[in-house]
Structures are given as structure tokens and as C-alpha cells.
Structure 1
Amino acid sequence: MNDTPSRNARRAADPAHDEILEVEVVTPTTSPARRASRALGFSRRMIAMGVAGTVGASALFAFAFTARGNDVTDTIDASAAIPAAAMSAAAESFEDRSDDVSRNAVRSGLSDVVADKAAQERQQQLGAANESAVQAQADQSMAERDKLMDADMALVAAQAEKLKEEADEAAKLLEKARAAARDAKARGVDVGDVDSMSAEDIANLTNKGGSMPVKSNYRVGAGFGKRGTWSRYHTGQDFPAPTGTPIYAAASGVVLSPTAGGWAGTNVVIQHNNGGATLYAHMSRKVVRTGQTVKPGQLIGYVGNTGRSFGSHLHFEYYKPGTTPGDVYSASNPMVFLRSLGVNA
């Protein structure tokens, strides 16, 4: 039915009223494509929730079935039985929590930094405490070594007169050997026995050569004057080597009494042609006797670890003329003596 005339009549009667009536309420119309998209999104969320629930329920059921025959006495967190994938799917189906995840990551990072810093501080404190303990022990050991060495020096001082007498006799023997050698050479004959001295003794004492005190299976260790674990400083040259390694006379001379200082252990002292002496310490065994003549390179004993020693090695010392063998702080650099003989380590 056409109501146009009626409307026109009303307009004529009351124009304002007609304007109000002419305002139409327009309801937004959603397109079919948008409605389909919303429906699809809703369906995906429902599917995700359904999958998460199904997977979670399956996992709980499987866990309960497996644990049925076991004696489980501890309380079990249900979330532990739900796979991570299911939990993630459930979370995604409800809301976007990226902001929370970011904040949690920051908190975790800060916690890790704080924990690392605390661990470093603890490590530094432990290191400082350890260094302090080691230093205290070293100081105590050094004091003990000084005390022992002072006691040894008292023994060496008491022995000094005896060693001087032996050194004087050795010097006389050496001079007699040289005189006999000169006389034999002038007459053009072989050296024979001279006043209880054998030709071998004379040959030994007049030999001007030199030899390394060790010749194999060794290395050059701590040198003369080095600071370290020794009392005050190192008084000779070390040659670390296996126990039983042969030790040889560095030069010709006469064997004196060993030093009385307990630090040297089994040792040999040799008075040489120049009036100086060498000392060979920490031997496992010696094969020469006091008063015996030796030539350069002659076997005198074997490497060991006797006395105050920190491992198998030869401790080799040199004493200039006028000093007492074994009075360690009057010793000189033995490598200089070896080089004077034409020997290089």
C-alpha cells in the first residue's frame, strides 16, 4: 500500500514532526566475509582449547595408568604431567601474553646477573682466604727452614777446622803431583810412584779438563741466587734427574769429608787444583772415599733425594779458595766455575 499522500499531508500539517520521523535508525550491516572471519577465529580458539584439554587429559590419564602399579607417596604437581606444547596451545587460545613474557625474561636476566655477581664475590673471597692460608703456611715453612739451616751452619762451623786441615793436605798432595809430573816430563819418562802417590793419582791430580756433573736424563733446574722455597736464596745449581742417574767429578782433585750440614743428605766434597771445592748434594749413594783422588768425569755417585730435598735431583755447589764447603751462604755460582773449565750446560 502506498502511503506517500498521507506523508505529504502530514508534512503540510506539521513539518517539524515529519523531520523527526524521517530520521531512520541505521543498523550497521556486517558483510558476509567479516562474519565468516569472526566465526573462523572463534572456531580456531575453540579447537585450540579442545586440543589442549584433550592432550592434557590424555597425559594425566597416561601418567595415572603408568603410576598405578607404583607406590607413589609424594604429592605430584599436575602441571608436570601436561606437555609443554599443550600448555602453550592453551595459553595462546586465551590471550596474548607477550608483555608478561618480556617482563619475565627481564626479571630472569636480572636474577642471573645478580646470581653471577654473588658467585664471583664468593669465589674472590674464597681465593683471598686460600691465598692467605698458603702464605701463612709458606711463612711458617720459611721460618722453619731458616731455623734448620741455622742449626746446620753451626755444624759446618764446628767442622770447618777439620775441612781446612784436609784441604791443606790436599793442596800439598796436588803440588807434589804437579812436581812429579814436571820432573817426569823433563826426564822424558813416565810418571811413577812418588812418596806413596801412584801414577794414577798423579795423572788424576794434574788433569786440567772439566766435565758436566750429570751427562744424561737431566734438565737444568733452579739456578744460583734464585728466590723461592729455599732458605733465603738458592745456593747452587739444580739438575733434576731420576734417582740413580750417574754423577761425575767436575774437575780433578782430592775427595774431602762430606759436609756435616743435614740439608745436603748424602754428599761428596772435592778439593780442586785451583784451591776451590765443589759439593754434590742429595745423592742416593756415593762411590768415592775421603782422601781419594779423582779426575774430570770420574763416577763419584748417583742422583737421589736425601737430606732436605723436594724431589730427585743433584744440587751442585762451588766454593772459592778460602771458604768452607757446606757453608752455603759463602758459595759462588757453580756455572761460572764450569765455564772456566770449558764446560757449558
Structure 2
Amino acid sequence: MNDTPSRSAKRAAEVDFDDVAEIGAATAPSRARRGALAFGFSKKLVALSVAGAMSAAALFAFAFTSRGSDLNSDEASDANVAVPAAAAAAVQEGFADRSEEVSRNKVRTNLSQAAAEANSKDRAAVMGASNDAAVKAYLDMSTEERDRLMDEDLKLVKAQSDKLKKEAEEAARRLEEAKKAAAAAKAGETTDVQISEEDLQNLTSTGGSMPLKSNYRIGAYFGKRGSWSRWHTGQDFPAPIGTPIYAAASGVVSSPTAGGWAGTNVVIRHANGGATLYAHMSRKVVSPGTTVKAGQLIGYVGVSGRSFGAHLHMEYYKPGVTPGDVYKASDPMAFLRSLGVG
């Protein structure tokens, strides 16, 4: 078989694709010419498709870039044209109420905060005025008058001593029962001691705590002589009104001293038989008979009683001494150091 192409086939292969339309219009095309014509149209169709896809991609990239760069400009509003009206309305309806609610909540929160701040300022102003009045009244008082008032307080303490002695005995009993219950629990034994889990944990806890943990300084020390009666019977911790006060060690809360000098005060009986007294509080949060552990909140700094400024006056009484019998008190800082603090 002869593989040499025919003369007509060669002419078909040599046809210029740009002249296909003109040739087809002049004469009826042969089979080779019809194939060349189809191939020419296919090539142009592919080229047009590619060009269209590239144009669409470029347009999308431009729109996306413009959206990102002009998001905060006035022209960004034109992007809303691409969002169907129904969808835009649904979005607006879905978020309008929530935004309004958020606004109302924010307004209420701001009003509550403003009211709280105003009340806080009012309380601070009232307490500050009371503080100033107390300081002035105390400083205007003569030494003889201060001594007289303290002697009157000591009479009240003496009248209260029997009650406080019984409370001390009860506190010692509860502390001993807590000790026995803890030992029995450790050994896996049963006991007939009736004590709550909270009291057991409080009364068997060890360690100590500073009575104030922040916003205070060390003031007048035990034994110092000054404007107070005779000599200073405790340790002062000047601090702003409302500063939290904490139990120095675990124990049982006793009745407060009847001495008017201490104002609002808390007395705690400890495992060693001694007691601590926390005076001049603005408020206390524990009551007689309850148990506390070291570092537990018991009240707040104030200027109640015969105080010459906002501070905590702390006293320590050794076993056998009635809390409030101030001239038999001992150095509270020594007691704190024995607990590993101070």
C-alpha cells in the first residue's frame, strides 16, 4: 500500500485556517476541508472560554479586594446591592431586638454602677465625718477623763468575768472533744463525740494569720505611752474603714468585752487557753459560740468605741486572764510570732 499522501490531501493540509470561511463560501468543502473548519471553530471556542473564565476570576478578585480595603468607607455601602432584599430584611429583623436589649442592659448596668458608687461615696463621707468627730472628741478629752472612763469599763469587765470564765471552760471542752474526734478518725476508730465536720476542721486547724492582710501599717505597739489611758494595751493596725479583719488562730468565738472603749469587738478563745480581742470594728460577721479557723473573716475595720482614727486594736490575753481586763493583757505581736506570723 502506498503511504504517500494524495495531492488533494496535501492541499487540504496546507489550507490556511484564516481563509476557511472564505473558501467555504465560494465552493462546497471537501471532507478534509470540513475537518479543518470544525477544528478551527473548536480552537476559537476554547480560547473564548478561557478568556471568559480569566475575566470572571479577575472581576471576583477585584470585588473581594475592594470589599476588604473599603469596608469602612462610604463606598462599602454599594456591596449591599449584591445582597437580596429579603435576606437583608431578615438579618436586620433578627438582630434589631437583640441590639436593643443589649443597649437596655448596658444602660441598666451603668445606672447600677453609678448608684453603687454614689452610695459608696455617701457611706465613706458619713464614716469619714464620724471618724473626724471621734478623733476630735477623744483628743479634747482630758487624761483624767480618759482614766475615769477606763476605770468604769474595768468595772463592767469584772461584772462580766464569771460569764466569760464559763465560756472559756466550754470552749476548752469543745476544743478537747475536737482533738479526740480527730485522733479517733485518724486511727479508724469510732467515737461518741458529737461534733460537726465544720467545727472539727476549724478547731483542729493549725497555724496562724495576720489579722489584716492588706492596706494597713503597723501602728502604736504594746506598752507604748501616749494619748491613750496610762499605756497602750495592744497592737494597733491603722487601715481604711471597711478593711477585712481575720482570726489570728483557730478557736471558739466568745462574748465581746463589755468595756465601752472597744466598741464593736470580737473575742476568740484559742487552743492554748488564751484569747485574742479585736476592737473598734465597723461590723462583725461572727457570733458567740461559733468556731473559726486561722485566716477566717470575722469583721471589718472601723472607729467604734473610744478610737482616735480608723484602725484595728488587737489584744492578747494569756490563759486565766479575762478578755477586756486591759492592764493584764500581753503583747499580741509575741503571740503572732509564736504562730509563725508577724
TM-score by length of 2: 0.58
Q: Deviations over 1:74-104 (max 9, x none)?
A: xxxxxxxxxxxxxxxxxxxxxxxxxxxxxxx
Matched to 1:172, the amino acid is R
CA distance in 1: counterparts of 2:303 and 2:204, whole angstroms: 33
Q: Deviations over 1:209-229 (max 9, x none)?
A: 100000000000000000000
CA distance in 1: counterparts of 2:299 and 2:274, whole angstroms: 20
CA distance in 2: counterparts of 1:141 and 1:178, whole angstroms: 49
Q: Deviation at 1:140? A: 6.7
Residue 169 (structure 1) aligned with residue 167 (structure 2): no
Q: Deviation at 1:193? A: 9.3
**Ranges in structure 2 where 5+ consecutive residues have no aligned partner:** 1-137
CA contact (8 A) 1:226 1:233 kept: yes
- Secondary structure of the residue aligned to 1:309 is coil
CA distance in 2: counterparts of 1:186 and 1:252, whole angstroms: 23
Of residues 210, 213, 221, the one that matches 1:212 is: 210
Q: Deviations over 1:234-266 (max 9, x none)?
A: 000000000000000000000000000000000
CA distance in 2: counterparts of 1:311 and 1:138, whole angstroms: 11
Largest Rg, 1 or 2: 1
Poorly superposed stretches of 4+, deviation over 4 Å: 137-140
Matched to 1:183, the amino acid is A
Matched to 1:222, the amino acid is A
**After the TM superposition, which residues 1-345 of structure 1 pair with which residues of structure 2 at under 5 Å, given as runs?**
141-187=142-188, 194-195=193-194, 197-344=195-342
- Secondary structure of the residue aligned to 1:203 is helix
CA distance in 2: counterparts of 1:138 and 1:239, whole angstroms: 19
Q: Specify whether residues 201 and 150 from structure 1 end up closer, same or farther in structure 2 by C-alpha distance, changes over 3 A only.
A: same
Structure 2 residue aligned with 1:66: none
- Secondary structure of the residue aligned to 1:205 is helix
Structure 1 residue aligned with 2:107: none
Q: Specify whether residues 300 and 233 from structure 1 end up closer, same or farther in structure 2 by C-alpha distance, changes over 3 A only.
A: same
TM-score by length of 1: 0.58
Over aligned residue pairs, what C-alpha RMSD do you find? Answer: 1.8
Matched to 1:161, the amino acid is D
CA distance in 2: counterparts of 1:297 and 1:310, whole angstroms: 26
Matched to 2:177, the amino acid is K
CA contact (8 A) 1:193 1:199 kept: no
Q: Deviation at 1:194? A: 3.8
CA distance in 2: counterparts of 1:331 and 1:299, whole angstroms: 23
Among all aligned residue pairs of Structure 1 and Structure 2, give the percentage whose two residues are the same amino acid. Answer: 74
Matched to 1:156, the amino acid is V
Matched to 1:295, the amino acid is K
CA distance in 1: counterparts of 2:314 and 2:322, whole angstroms: 15
CA distance in 2: counterparts of 1:139 and 1:300, whole angstroms: 32
CA contact (8 A) 2:139 2:308 kept: no
Q: Specify whether residues 266 and 193 from structure 1 end up closer, same or farther in structure 2 by C-alpha distance, changes over 3 A only.
A: farther
Matched to 1:154, the amino acid is K
Structure 1 residue aligned with 2:10: none
CA distance in 2: counterparts of 1:237 and 1:264, whole angstroms: 13
Matched to 1:275, the amino acid is G
Q: Deviation at 1:139? A: 10
Matched to 1:315, the amino acid is H
CA distance in 1: counterparts of 2:189 and 2:334, whole angstroms: 36
CA contact (8 A) 1:317 1:334 kept: yes
- Secondary structure of the residue aligned to 1:268 is strand
CA distance in 2: counterparts of 1:305 and 1:174, whole angstroms: 32
